Amino acid sequence: MARTALSALLVLFALLLPADFDELAPSAFLRVPVEALVGVVVLVALPARRRRAVAAVGGALLGLLLVVKVLDIGFDSVLYRPFDLVLDWPLLTPAVDYVAVTAGRAAAVGAVALVVALAVAAPVLVARSAVRLGGAVGAHRAAAVRVVALAAVCAVVLPVATHGTTDLVEDHARAVRAGLDDRSAFAAESAVDAFGDVPGDRLLTSLRDKDVLVVFVESYGRDAVEDPGVAAALEDGTRRLAGSGYASRSAFLTSPTAGGGSWLAQATLLSGLWVDNQQRYRTLVAGDRLTLGGAFRRAGWRSVGVMPGITQAWPEGLFFDYDRIYAAADLGYRGPRFGYATMPDQYVLAELERAERGARDEPVMAVVTLLSSHAPWTPLPEALPWDGVGDGAVFGEMLSGAVPPESIFGRDPVEVRADYGRSIEYSIDTIVSYLETYGDDDLVVVVLGDHQPAQMVTGEGASRDVPVTVVSRDRSVPGRAEPWGWTEGLAPAGDAPVRPMSAFRDQFLGAFS
Predicted local distance difference test score (pLDDT) of residue 72 = 87
β pairing state of 487-488 and 247-254: antiparallel
Tell me how far apart the alpha carbons of residues 187 and 305 are, in angstroms, rounded to a whole number.
26
Is 251 in contact with 498 (CB distance < 8 Å)?
yes
Mean pLDDT of the chain: 89
What distance separates the 2 farthest-apart alpha carbons in the chain?
Answer: 89
The residue extents of the domains of the chain are 2-180, 207-512
Model confidence band, residue 457 (pLDDT cutoffs 50, 70, 90): very high
What pLDDT sits at residue 160? 61
pLDDT band at 103 (very low <50, low <70, confident <90, very high): low
Q: How far apart are CA 143 and CA 421, in angstroms?
A: 59
Q: What is the pTM of this model?
A: 0.86
DSSP 460: T
- Classified as helix, coil or strand, 392 is coil
* Residue 413 DSSP code: H
pLDDT at 350 over 90: yes
Q: Which residues face 370 on adjacent strands?
A: 217
Cβ atoms of 204 and 115 within 8 Å: the answer is no
Name the pLDDT band for 158 (thresholds 50, 70, 90): low
Check residue 109 and give its pLDDT. 78
Would you state the pLDDT for residue 128? 92
Question: Which pLDDT does position 161 carry in this prediction?
Answer: 61
DSSP state of 470: E
Looking at residues 133-155, what average pLDDT do you find?
Answer: 74
Residue predicted with more confidence, 290 or 479: 290
Q: Is the peptide bond before 376 cis (omega within 30 degrees of 0)?
A: yes
DSSP 72-122: HHHHHHHHSSPPPTTT-GGGHHHHHHHHHHHH-HHHHHHHHHHHHHHHHHH
Give the Cα separation of 225 and 508 in Å (integer): 23
Pick from 334, 425, 430: which is nearest to 378 by CA?
A: 425
CATH homologous superfamily of 207-512: Alkaline Phosphatase, subunit A (3.40.720.10)
More confident residue, 52 or 325: 325
In sequence order, which residues have a C-beta less than 8 Å from that of residue 419 and are 6 or more positions away?
A: 376, 377, 378
Q: pLDDT grade, residue 59 (50/70/90)?
A: confident
Q: Which of 109-123, 159-173, 298-312, 454-468 has the lowest mean pLDDT?
A: 159-173
* CA–CA dist 437, 372 (Å, integer): 20
Please, are residues 502 and 274 in contact by the beta-carbon 8 Å criterion? yes
CA angle 300, 306, 418 (to 5 degrees): 135
Is omega for the bond preceding 379 within 30 degrees of 0, making it cis? yes
**344, 398 in Cβ contact below 8 A?**
no
Decide if 29 contacts 16 (C-beta within 8 A): yes
Instruction: Report the distance separating Cα 285 and Cα 291, nearest Å.
Output: 10
